[in-house]
Amino acid sequence: MACFFRRRIAEKLPELVLLRQTPDFKLSVSSLRTNEILPSSCDLQLQTEDLAAQLKQDSVVEDISAGYGVINFTVNRKLLVQKLLEPLGRDGDEKFGLNSELFNTIKRGTTLIEYSSPNIAKKFHAGHLRSTIIGNFIANLKKSLGNKVIRMNYLGDWGMQFGLLGAGFGQFGCQEKLKENPLQHLFEVYVQVNKEAEHNEDMYKAARDFFRQLEQHESEAVSLWQQFREITVEEYQRVYKRLGVHFDIYSGESFHQDQAQEVVQQLQSQGLLKISEKGTGVVDLSPAGDMSSVCTVLRSDGTTLYITRCQHVPFGLVQGMKTRSGEVVFLEDVLDEARARMLHNMSQTKSRMSYGSATKELDNPEDTAEKVAISALIVQDFKGPLQSDYKFDWDRMLQAQGDTGVFLQYTRARICSLIRRNEGVEAATFDPSLLLEQTSINILQHLLRYDEVLYQSAQDLQPKHLVNFLLKLCHLIASAHRELPVKGSSQDVAQARIRLFSGACSVLANGMRILGITPVDKM
């Protein structure tokens, strides 16, 4: 829809540069002079007035006027209302904004997204949250733009840690405890064997031997490793379900163990693999070739390291993710605490902002609290550049006021409640001329940017553009909710306003789903 209006305005002047501002569009004449589209020797204001006089109105642009150094364009607002809201019925249109001409230059095909990548036989650490939700966002975005997306979880399921765990399980492990609480028991074994290996060389030697057996595919070692891997993936899937995340493929470092040996052989054949004084296999990365900077690819016993199996993409760290007790926690503990805090907030009837419906009216308050809490986690993470670190803040994250995931969910739930209370009001047709108030136009002009925001997100894979768009939309919806009442209005006005709220609510939900947020209808 946005392209329709951009194209019609641009037809009036070649190389049109648009600066979108409320209420409609402005053309900076000075920018045309800077870009040598217009001569810079003439008086700027005379040039502006002359150019404005040459441009003609049509069914889309109904008024053109000259300001100081700018040309103002007023769009046919009735047409704007029609073009944006007709495709958006009560059930929404998931394709809104996705058929834009902006996406014609984007290549579509099969895209493999690899994300999350926890280490098996360990509890899901909170530090893996960023990789999980970032990867899920990218996968959702790519799919929405027409790509066939394959979601892969590349598990850390190989390496010396399994030498330690395998050797340690033989001494400290218990199959009964493994069945009762698999990851907790494996974690306990791993901690115990590491402590033992610190002062017991025999234990470390046993760990090296076990990993060598793994790389040589000896059946007993492989069988125990497979057991660890299977029970870990099963436990992880339970956590992923809570986050609304799924994978098409569970791969891992173990899948590339043979290729890792091929990499080593290629390095050897090209004379790049050298043996250090410690007996490890290294590649000299120093510019002068003096071994001042090396990369270790083989241990002294010939087993491979992580770097031979994977390519890394960095992002910032989360600082201060702690519980009330001040301890760093596992992801499930974070989710449990976020849900508990959110449920507490929802039950506070005397809070500064009502959540729109009493908690007791919800079919499953715990489930709603969890979805809203996860929304809060995601928005707090996605508001800034992914490369930046950010400080985890429980209180700020869960506020209903301010730019939070709770505010997103609250706004949508509030509009869903409005629609439920006015069931039967919305009709198949509506009168666009009844939605010409500035409050309505502000929402519609913001919706015009939806395709631009998705395009920008597709270019740099940053969720901040979509997050900020949705938060701004929520503020505009809040204003409209105050200024455009449905109750007490005539039927035709009520129908038009419900259509406006329904359309905005649909786009809000679409954007939330791309971010990985599950919208709730009640709070």
Query: What's the rounded Cα separation, in Å, for the pair 133 and 516?
Result: 7
Q: Are 265 and 258 in contact (CB under 8 A)?
A: no
Integer-rounded Cα radius of gyration of the chain: 29
Q: Are 257 and 304 in contact (CB under 8 A)?
A: yes
Annotated active-site residue 125? The verdict is yes
Query: What's the rounded Cα separation, in Å, for the pair 114 and 247?
Result: 9
Annotated active-site residue 522? The verdict is no
- The amino acid at 494: A
- The amino acid at 16: L
Query: What's the rounded Cα separation, in Å, for the pair 118 and 156?
Result: 6
* Angle at the Cα of 523 from the Cα atoms of 513 and 476, rounded to 5 degrees: 65
Q: Are 96 and 303 in contact (CB under 8 A)?
A: no
- Cβ atoms within 10 A of the Cβ of 496, count? 26
Annotated active-site residue 446? The verdict is no
DSSP 61-117: EEEEEE-SSEEEEEE-HHHHHHHHHTT--TT--TTTTTT-GGGGGS--SEEEEE---
Of 83, 128, 142, 256, catalytic: 128
Structure tokens at 418: 């409005």
Of 125, 177, 472, 475, catalytic: 125
Residue reference for tokens 């966002």? 137
Of 122, 185, 371, 465, catalytic: 122
Contacts by 320-324, CB closer than 8 A, 24 or more apart: 320/391, 320/392, 320/393, 321/126, 321/392, 322/392
Query: What's the rounded Cα separation, in Å, for the pair 264 and 87?
Result: 57
Partnered with residue 390 across adjacent β-strands are: 318
Q: Are 414 and 357 in contact (CB under 8 A)?
A: no
Give the active site residues.
Answer: 122, 125, 128
